[in-house]
Structure 1
C-alpha cells in the first residue's frame, strides 16, 4: 500500500482515483440500488398476486360449495387463469369431487390427471393418484387402476392402497387375491374399520 507524505498528497491521490474510477462506482451503485428496488418490487408483486389468487380461489370454492349456477364454469375459469399456482390444483380436486358426485367420471378423471401433472407437492400427488385409481376402478379399467396405485410410494398410504387393490381383485372375481390384499391392509397403520367386514364376507 502506498504511503502518503502529506494530506495534500492524499487529497490529490483521491481526486486522481475518483477521476479514473468514479463513473464505475456510480454505475455500480445505480445498478445495485436498481436491483434492490427491483427485487422488492418483484416480491411485492408476487405477494399481491398470491393474495389475489387466494381471494379468487375462495370465491370460486364458495360458489361451488353452495352449488351456485355456473359455479363449475367459474372454477374452471379460475384453474385456467391460475394454471401455475397450487391453488389451481386444489380447485381441480374440488371440481373433480363434484363431477364424481354427478357421475361425470370422464370429466373428473381429466381434472385429476391435469392436477397430477401440474402439482409440485408430492403429498398431494399421492392423494391425486389414489383418487385417479378409484375412478379407473369404477370405470372397470382395473389394469390402469392397479398401475396407478404403484405410483404412490408413501408408506402412510399402504393400508388404503392394499384395500383398494383388494376391492379391484374382488370385482374381477379373484377372491384369494382380494383376501390377501385385505389381510395386508389390516396390518397397516392406516387400516380402515371396514376391513374386518370384508374379510368376514370372503371367509363365509
Structure 2
C-alpha cells in the first residue's frame, strides 16, 4: 500500500482510482441492488402465489365436502391449474378418496399415481403408496399391490405395511405367509388393534 505525504496527494490518488474503477463500482452496485430487489420481488411473488393457491384449494375442497354437483370437476380444475404446488397433490388425494367412495377405482388410481409422481415429500409419498396398494388390492391386482408396498421404506409405516401385506397374501390364498405378515405387524410400534382378531381367525 502506498503512503501519501499530503492530503492533496491522497485526493489525487482517490480521483485517479475512481477514474479507473468508478464505472465498475457503480455497475456492481446497480447489479447488487437489482439482485436484492429482484430477489425480494421473487419472494413476494412466491408468497402471493402460495396464498392464492391455498385459498383456491380451501374453496375447492369445501365445495367437494358440501357434495356440490360440480365439486369433483372444480377440484380437478384446481389440480390442473396448480400442478406445480403441493396443494395440487393434496387435492388429488381428496379427489381420489371421493372417487373410491363412488367405486371409480380407475380414476382414483390415476389421481394417486399422478400425486405420487408430483411430490418429493417422503411422508406424502408413503401415504400415497399405501393408498395405491389398498386400491390395487380392491381391484384384485395382488402382485402390483405387494410391489407398491415394498417401495415404502419409512419405519413408522412398518406395522401398517405388514398388516396390509398380510391382507393381500390372504386374498391370494397364501394363509401361511399372511399369518407371518400379521405377526410381524403385531411387533411394530404402529400395530393396529385388529391384528389379534386376524391372527385368531387364521389359527382356527
* TM-score, reference length from structure 1: 0.97
SS of residue matched to 2:3? coil
1:71-82 to structure 2, matched below 5 A, reads 71-82=71-82
Please name the residue that 1:46 is paired with.
46
Please name the residue that 2:64 is paired with.
64
Please name the residue that 1:126 is paired with.
126
Q: CA RMSD in A?
A: 0.9
* TM-score, reference length from structure 2: 0.97
Post-superposition CA distance 1:7-38 (Å, at most 9, x none) = 11111111111111111111111111111110
Please name the residue that 2:84 is paired with.
84
Please name the residue that 1:135 is paired with.
135
Distance in 2, Cα, partners of 1:151 & 1:186: 20
Please name the residue that 2:170 is paired with.
170
1:4-23 to structure 2, matched below 5 A, reads 4-23=4-23
Post-superposition CA distance 1:28-74 (Å, at most 9, x none) = 11111111110110011111001001001101111111111211111
Q: Which moved more, 1:178-187 or 1:127-136?
A: 178-187
Post-superposition CA distance 1:112-170 (Å, at most 9, x none) = 00000011100110000000000000000000000000000111111111111111111
SS of residue matched to 1:83? coil
Unpaired runs of at least 5, structure 1? none
1:110-121 to structure 2, matched below 5 A, reads 110-121=110-121
Please name the residue that 2:94 is paired with.
94
Distance in 1, Cα, partners of 2:76 & 2:100: 15
Please name the residue that 1:106 is paired with.
106
Please name the residue that 2:158 is paired with.
158
Distance in 2, Cα, partners of 1:90 & 1:118: 10
Distance in 2, Cα, partners of 1:2 & 1:129: 70
SS of residue matched to 1:153? coil
Distance in 2, Cα, partners of 1:82 & 1:174: 44
SS of residue matched to 1:2? coil
Please name the residue that 2:3 is paired with.
3
What displacement does 1:203 show? 1.4
Distance in 2, Cα, partners of 1:190 & 1:110: 28
Q: Which moved more, 1:102-111 or 1:167-176?
A: 167-176
